[in-house]
Amino acid sequence: MNGLFDAKYVVFVDSFKKNNYYEIFDNLGSMLTNLYIVDLIINENTAFQDYWQQYNLMFAKVKSNMDSYNMTSKMVKRLQKFVETLYNTIMHGKLYQEYLDGLKNVIKEDMKDVKDPLFKNKTFQEKYLEYINIKINDVQVLLSAQGEMTAQAEYMNLLINYSVYRKLFDIEDDKIYKKIWALQKFCPILIMYNNLYVIPGNFLATVCPLKKKTSVEPPDVPVFLR
């Protein structure tokens, strides 16, 4: 996307400037939503933590008496490495936040030879912002329609894309933030999967909060949910 949407390139002016690219952002939001759902599964299910503690105790017993478990030092080290990787990537329930936190560093590394990196590409930033504004209007229409089955998923997709946009470009626009925040008046809780849910206000306040205090409506999420 960074390469395609750059006003300095003739190909963009002649071709990509006229194309509809919204589906690309929609697909990105859907993929990252699944990542966020993995975090919800881990954080909302205390059994995972209990089982993990039991596994660590069992692992400690194996390390202290490898012969009894027909294990070698090399096998134990390989297993320990696998266990640590599993915990550090999935079991700590922060996959999506770590994705956001590491996003800029990964892009910088991949684009170290590029003169104008992604974060300075004004054209791409404007295109992403254009998508978010259109998405806000679309989500509001969906949430206003009674019985619209895709409304909640589309609202979550908007939240995800907005958080990515904020992380990439570090631009705060309280008007956009307020619009996305206000959508929760139509749907204060988003059901993701079975008993897993997301409260839009909590997502915005924790994942992509504004640095400057801004008045929003509803002003207090816990009170609004009562």
Query: What is the reported pLDDT for 1?
Result: 64
CA separation for the pair 201, 203 (Å, rounded): 5
Contact 11, 114 (CB under 8 A): no
CA separation for the pair 131, 168 (Å, rounded): 15
Query: What is the reported pLDDT for 159?
Result: 98
Contact 180, 224 (CB under 8 A): no
Query: What is the reported pLDDT for 113?
Result: 60
38, two tokens: 């993995």
CA separation for the pair 78, 75 (Å, rounded): 5
Give the pTM: 0.83
Q: Where are the beta strands (DSSP E) in 36-173?
A: none
Integer angstrom CA distances of residue 14 from 18, 31, 167: 8, 30, 30
pLDDT-derived band at 192, boundaries 50, 70, 90: very high
Domain boundaries, the chain: 21-225
pLDDT in tens, 17-64: 666 678 989 999 999 999 999 999 988 887 877 887 788 788 888 888
